[in-house]
A and B are shown apart, each in its own frame.
Chain A
């Protein structure tokens, strides 16, 4: 296990170098730059050049790259170009919100999706197809709905008409009730997509396992059906579900960007969008680096869960 963790960390190095370089270059290929964004139409000529110099953008690109990478090696993410604030501080403020939303989404959607997926599979296995068909139809419908459209629909219903959940405002970790109310709508939007996908995968996986010989063996030894499902079927069907949930987490990071923006939640998604809009290279580079780290972390976590569930898995 420790051996595996070390190997994974070694693999991390080329990944990080790749991500850093790619983001560095991509940002500079987009037309426009931070100076232009800050100055607007007011500055020109020498003044603009002076400002560019002051922001550290006057030096050649390779030099900027070297500076950035050496900074990273000292765990220094630098300061934002536009506001001059330390990037690490901004990320530390925004990250917990995003991580909390993402983790809650994965937990809630897994619990709901695995439940309905299992029920659908169980009934389908006994030849009762109606629930199964209903679920398949519903999940398809939800999956096809664009998330921003659903977000607007939910806001219209729950914020403007019913007035249950606020759609904007600060997030305060010290008041969980208020906080949950605040993130309820984004959670709903994010969960909807995940539940649809995970439920479908669970259904397929459980249905397949229910047809396996060892399920018949367990039944032939008098294990009641429901206990067969919990003792044997769910655990064996877990692999594809976990794979998908792990991948879903990656998609979720994408999803949070739009959703945070719509519901104006001050997470790293919002931070990223602001950074891109103002061409704030250092900020965008660092935020994307954080995303990459999260993604790799989740990958490692799913691998460990595999090993825990299935003794045949070799890490």
Chain B
């Protein structure tokens, strides 16, 4: 690189403003966003949904969908303004100079075109290669991004590849035309943690090797710490904090960043009773915002905050934040409430509750599916979705169930709810085996176990009022008179911390966090003894996750409910669980107290999960040697012989490939299924 170009940044975004002109009004998605990115630099843009981060990214490429439009500003790529460019010139920049990796690898590739054809066409256009050269380069690229047998893979269709593989294909596509900048919009959000770790390492390596700059858009602060050198935090369409990754994590200046970092539970150290939470919900971007958008949720807000929208200004060294109060919440935190984790008392230890009968016991619980055998095919295969698992849950406790998608977590949940009938084994709830219940007995059992669903956006009938949604279980079970039910519903909505005025609204009028509270209220309607929470926070904004977790923890304490908490987010699982079970391909591989497992994981798979989980601390991330496990989850219909994890395990020996280890007692509170655990 010549000294002349060193002077100019690769990408300079200046006062970018993007609006969506909808019928309901103007959504000011991006407001005066400015930043610069140099060659070879890795920058992260962090924000929750609606913060304008994706709209900003699409504005750079001029690919906003209707009714979005860039109102003003400049986007300079090596000094050329992309905003004034003609479509033909832009089409040269798109793909040729800026490669893009999108969020969902499942939907980002054309499903009916082969991988090869999709890769090759862009190279023919941008690099002016002939088809044969392009195919050769495509095969090389697939090898480079870690796809084995690349020649054959070129002929595959997307549906024949796993999510992780597809994301590798998309990365290969982004690299294919030798761009100067790669734009990655939540590239790992749809993937499992172990695959996420692989993809992040891949992107990091690529930028180091090729000198490409990377703009990484995410909502996950842990990933930022692992990945980025520079960070911009967005809230309600503005950059509220901007600086180097070390500064940002060490001394965050904006109250939003400061609070967000505090809401994330740690995977090390003592556990507080409650997480710090940010009150309220992100602003509705359809409404005009007066003053600072974060003011309503900010602990440090002063009256001036509601009148005047602060600009980004230098706070510390080169670190910038948009806040009127110097020091943000740090300035006021001592006087208001003990927010630090250190201040909170640790959870009571398990040992204190002895001799209680478990509220739930699973014995040899098994669910096998048979794939269809047809006239012209040989007999179907057996998928061992859940294979002889044994768990127990004590009253008022939380059991965390962890594992990658396809490991059998959700099948287990379905069986506990008796939405699915086990192939074999027992489900003992309060001393009664409910595995084979039928008719009236089954109906009355359903009161005991209730569910909180993952996606609060799709788990309600949109045509029903909140009142009717919460009341429905009471009606189904024919409990009480109309008046009784009404009182109960009012009681329930207050229990989950919402006002009774919401009872007359429809789900679409509520935010995600409010809806998940309604989901919890509905689950509580029948006074269950067990609640199954299947990824209850994964569809929520980062800033409201802690609210929902705290609510669940409070309810457990107040009502004595037991919770089965299913999640892939290890830090949240650790925070809320007393015991943890790690599942892999239908089997439990490690089972024990949450603290013990996180402190000293015994099974190589648990270790891998912990290594893969990013920690919101760039210093720790840098020190950590990340031992990745390679490959994808094997198909449950055709698991490897011997130990199911043997194909990905770093400690594998010949014995692992032949014999299957059983879950054995290791210590007082721990069971592990591994020959090498000690």
Chain A residues at the B interface, C-beta cutoff of 8 Å = 3, 7, 125-127, 211-214, 216-225, 231-232, 235-236, 309-312
Complex contacts, B66 vs chain A, CB 8 Å: 125-127
10 sampled A-B residue pairs with Cβ under 8 A = A214-B110, A216-B102, A216-B108, A217-B170, A220-B95, A221-B100, A222-B96, A223-B125, A231-B121, A312-B157
Q: Given contacts A221-B122, A312-B157, A312-B159, is CB(A213)–CB(B376) below 8 Å?
A: no
CB of B152 within 8 Å of the partner chain: no
Do A232 and B63 touch (CB < 8 A)? Answer: no
Top 10 closest pairs, chain A to chain B, by CB: A221-B95, A127-B66, A222-B94, A222-B91, A222-B95, A213-B107, A220-B100, A213-B108, A214-B110, A221-B122
B129 CB to nearest chain A CB (Å): 15
A276 CB to nearest chain B CB (Å): 40
Do A221 and B173 touch (CB < 8 A)? Answer: yes
Complex contacts, A216 vs chain B, CB 8 Å: 63, 65, 102, 108
B472 CB to nearest chain A CB (Å): 32
Complex contacts, A222 vs chain B, CB 8 Å: 90-96, 122, 125-126
B contact residues, total (Cβ < 8 Å): 37
Do B95 and A214 touch (CB < 8 A)? Answer: no
Complex contacts, A236 vs chain B, CB 8 Å: 110-112
Complex contacts, A232 vs chain B, CB 8 Å: 110, 113
Cα-based distance from A236 to B61 in the complex (angstroms): 24
B91 CB to nearest chain A CB (Å): 4
Cα-based distance from A235 to B118 in the complex (angstroms): 14
Complex contacts, B95 vs chain A, CB 8 Å: 220-223
A1 CB to nearest chain B CB (Å): 12
Of the residues A3, A217, A235, A309, contact of B102 by C-beta under 8 Å: A217
CB of B109 within 8 Å of the partner chain: yes
Cα-based distance from A213 to B375 in the complex (angstroms): 38
Which residue on chain B has the smallest CB distance to residue A312? B159
Cα-based distance from A235 to B375 in the complex (angstroms): 32
Complex contacts, A225 vs chain B, CB 8 Å: 87
Cα-based distance from A7 to B170 in the complex (angstroms): 39
CB of B247 within 8 Å of the partner chain: no
Complex contacts, A309 vs chain B, CB 8 Å: 112
CB contact list, B290-327 vs A, under 8 A:
none
A14 CB to nearest chain B CB (Å): 15
CB of B641 within 8 Å of the partner chain: no
Complex contacts, B125 vs chain A, CB 8 Å: 222-223
Complex contacts, B159 vs chain A, CB 8 Å: 311-312
**Contact mask for chain B residues 170-203; partner A; CB cutoff 8 A; 1 contact, 0 none:** 1001000100000000000000000000000000
Which residue on chain B has the smallest CB distance to residue A124? B66
Complex contacts, A7 vs chain B, CB 8 Å: 375-376
Of the residues B112, B121, B376, contact of A310 by C-beta under 8 Å: B112
CB of B67 within 8 Å of the partner chain: yes
Complex contacts, A231 vs chain B, CB 8 Å: 121
B160 CB to nearest chain A CB (Å): 9
Complex contacts, B94 vs chain A, CB 8 Å: 219-222
A258 CB to nearest chain B CB (Å): 38
Which residue on chain B has the smallest CB distance to residue A225? B87
CB of B104 within 8 Å of the partner chain: yes
Which residue on chain A has the smallest CB distance to residue B90? A222
Which residue on chain A has the smallest CB distance to residue B156? A311
Which residue on chain B has the smallest CB distance to residue A128? B66
Complex contacts, A212 vs chain B, CB 8 Å: 107
